[in-house]
Each structure stands twice: as structure tokens, then as C-alpha cells.
């Protein structure tokens, strides 16, 4: 209400669960005097948990070698990587 925006971070599995958790947190908040109403609009931004991968340069170079195994899309991906690495075609 009143055009104010509030944000809260939640860890949820679904969109509906995320909004419900946000509503619960807003209702518990002592700063926010009014609870969300039926016309309150929620914006949900998904931040996936980061995933870390480790790869050796040699593995990348071997993967980037020319092959037709994955068709035209694979050829283009490998060409792009070879170009980034400065490897001859």
C-alpha cells in the first residue's frame, strides 16, 4: 500500500511457495504496518544456486578438437572455443 516496495529473500521450490513465504515474512515484519492484500502484486526473481565446475585447459583443448559427432551445432560451439583459444582451425 502507498506505492512502497519491499523485498525479502526466500528459498522456495515453487513460485507459489515463494510468494507465500514472502507474505509470511512481511506479516511478521514490525516495520511494515500493513499486511499484503489481495491486490498486492509480487515480483519474484529466481537466483539459482551457483554451481562450480573445474576443468583443465588440456580437457578444454581436447573437447574443442574438430568433430561432427554433435552435428552443426557442435561444430559451431567447438569453432567458437577454438577461436577464443587462438587455436588454428
pLDDT at site 23: 86
Residue 10 DSSP one-character state: -
pLDDT digit string (tens) for the chain, length 89 residues: 567 788 888 888 888 898 988 888 888 876 666 777 788 888 898 888 777 888 899 999 999 998 888 899 989 999 999 999 888 76
What is the domain partition of the chain in residue ranges? 1-51, 53-89
pLDDT at site 81: 92
pLDDT at site 72: 92
Amino acid at each position: 500500500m502507498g506505492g512502497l516496495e519491499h523485498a525479502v529473500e526466500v528459498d522456495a521450490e515453487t513460485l507459489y511457495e515463494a510468494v507465500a513465504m514472502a507474505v509470511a515474512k512481511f506479516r511478521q515484519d514490525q516495520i511494515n504496518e500493513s499486511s499484503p492484500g489481495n491486490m498486492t502484486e509480487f515480483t519474484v526473481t529466481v537466483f539459482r544456486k551457483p554451481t562450480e565446475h573445474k576443468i583443465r585447459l588440456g580437457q578444454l583443448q581436447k573437447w574443442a578438437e574438430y568433430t561432427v559427432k554433435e552435428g552443426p551445432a557442435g561444430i559451431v560451439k567447438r569453432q567458437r572455443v577454438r577461436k577464443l583459444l587462438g587455436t588454428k582451425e
